[in-house]
Amino acid sequence: IIEEQLHGALDRNEFEVVYQPKIDLADLKIMGAEALLRWNNPALGSVSPSEFIPIAEQTGIIVNIGKYVLTEAISAANNWHKNLGRDLNIAVNLSPRQFRDADLVPFIGRTIDEYGIDGHCLEVEITEGMFLSGYQHVNESLAQLNALGVNISMDDFGTGYSSLNYLRKYPFDMLKVDRSYIVNMTNEGTGKELVIASIAMAHSLNLKVIAEGVETKEQLDLLIDMGCDYAQGYLFSKPVPRHALEGLLVDNVDWY
Ligand code: C2E
Ligand code: MG
Ligand code: MG
């Protein structure tokens, strides 16, 4: 049923992009946001991305949905630049299937030009699954994105094979430490050590580090102590619509 409803959902305007702020741990201010897709369908209600993204990927529908997310996010970045004079870093999740679309990188280039944003304001998040997808041209695509000034981020780090080789071989700028590590940080065991090691490793490769799914003050304090660069999570804000994120920016909330 999900697959049935996915066809045409874009034309029926059932998608929305929401934004979760990313906090700079140096000054605890918002430095950017991650764009996250929401789907509200009359028959199915609101469906979680973890349910429909895999189906959109299998069927290839993700190619068009992904272009919609990119356009929304780039247009939002342009808006925040115009309205607030701020260059935020907007991250968009890309799935492996999107890289099989020869138009992906040209589309990103055109859209950046069209909205007149700096390439550095855009970040793409990919997971290790990308490298297992067997797609040959990931290499060139990432190099081309890098040449456009677009940042490249390794999402969900620690959940897959965590091959350190990928981090060296491709032009990554950012490592996102998976929420499961952040949750375990305050438990007994080696959770904390794994986050410390990930930060040290990333910094030695000249990558910035962002912690995902930060929910408690205790986690935040630990991450600041560890020298983590950025954080996002419910402690700061859930993903919110474009205008609500603008509100958070105007309020210049002090999160501490
Ligand atoms: P992700 O990229 O790792 O995104 C982080 C997920 O964690 C988001 O779930 C976010 O709402 C959630 N989250 C953020 N802070 C917290 C927290 O403090 N606690 C908890 N428990 N969760 C938190 P969401 O929006 O349901 O997205 C799930 C996944 O779906 C994403 O994981 C991403 O892989 C995929 N996804 C979402 N939007 C897109 C999209 O536009 N394109 C593609 N290809 N994938 C997307
Ligand atoms: Mg992500
Ligand atoms: Mg993630």
Query: Residues in the chain, how many?
Result: 256
Q: Are 233 and 212 in contact (CB under 8 A)?
A: yes
pLDDT confidence of residue 256: 72
Q: Relative to the CA of 232, which ligand 1 atom is closest?
A: 15
Q: How far apart are CA 13 and CA 173, in angstroms?
A: 33
Looking at residue 115, its pLDDT comes to 97
Res 223: pLDDT = 97
User: Ligand 2 centre and the CA of 125: distance in Å?
Assistant: 6
Paired tokens of 200: 């040290």
Contacts of 124 (CB under 8 A, 6+ apart): 91, 92, 93, 94, 145, 150, 151, 152, 153
* pTM summary value: 0.96
Probe residue for ligand 1, chosen from 20, 23, 36, 184 as the CB with the greatest number of ligand atoms within 8 Å:
36
Instruction: Tell the burial category of 75 from Cβ atoms under 10 Å away from its Cβ (0-12, 13-18, 19+).
Output: middle
Pick the atom of ligand 1 nearest to 176's CA. Answer: 3
User: What pLDDT is recorded for position 1?
Assistant: 85
The pLDDT value recorded for residue 187 is 84
Note whether 232 and 20 are within 8 A (CB): yes
122-126/151-157 β-pairing: parallel
Report the alpha-carbon distance of residue 93 to residue 69 in Å, rounded.
Answer: 9
The neighbour count for residue 232, using CB atoms within 10 Å, is 24
pLDDT tens by residue, the chain, 256 residues: 899 999 999 999 999 999 999 999 999 999 999 999 999 999 999 999 999 999 999 999 999 999 999 999 999 999 999 999 999 999 999 999 999 999 999 999 999 999 999 999 999 999 988 887 777 788 899 999 999 999 999 999 988 776 788 898 899 999 999 999 999 998 877 789 999 999 999 999 999 999 999 999 999 999 999 999 999 999 999 999 999 999 999 988 777 7
Q: Which residues line ligand 1 (CB under 6 A)?
A: 20, 36-37, 48-50, 53, 66, 69, 93-95, 125, 155-156, 179, 212-213, 215, 232-234, 239
Give the ligand 1 atom nearest the CA of 214.
18
Residue of the nearest CA to atom 11 in ligand 1? 239
Bridge-based pairing state of the strands 174-177 and 230-231? unpaired
Among protein residues, the one whose CA lies closest to atom 7 of ligand 1: 213
Task: Record the tokens describing residue 18, joined without a space.
Answer: 């929401």
CA angle 249, 255, 256 (to 5 degrees): 155
pLDDT, position 208: 98
Give 174's contacts (C-beta < 8 A, 6+ positions apart). Answer: 123, 151, 152, 153, 154, 207, 208, 209, 210
Which string of DSSP letters, residue by residue, matches 112-138?
Answer: HHHHT--GGGEEEEE-THHHHS--TTH
Distance, CA 121 to ligand 3 centroid (Å)?
Answer: 19
Which of 14, 59, 72 is closest to 38 using CA atoms? 14
For ligand 1, atom 15, which residue shows the shortest CA distance? 233
Beta bridge partners of 90: 33, 122
Q: Which residue has the tokens 């028959």?
A: 43
Q: Which atom of ligand 1 is nearest to the CA of 94?
A: 44
Per-residue pLDDT, 253:
79
Q: How far is the CA of 30 from the centre of ligand 3 (A)?
A: 18
Distance 159 CA to ligand 3 centre (A): 9
pLDDT value for 95: 94
* Per-residue pLDDT, 129: 84
Q: Whose CA is nearest to atom 8 of ligand 1?
A: 36
What distance, in Å, lies between the first and last C-alpha atoms of the chain? 44
- Distance (Å) from CA 151 to ligand 2 centroid: 13
Residue 163 is predicted with a pLDDT of: 73
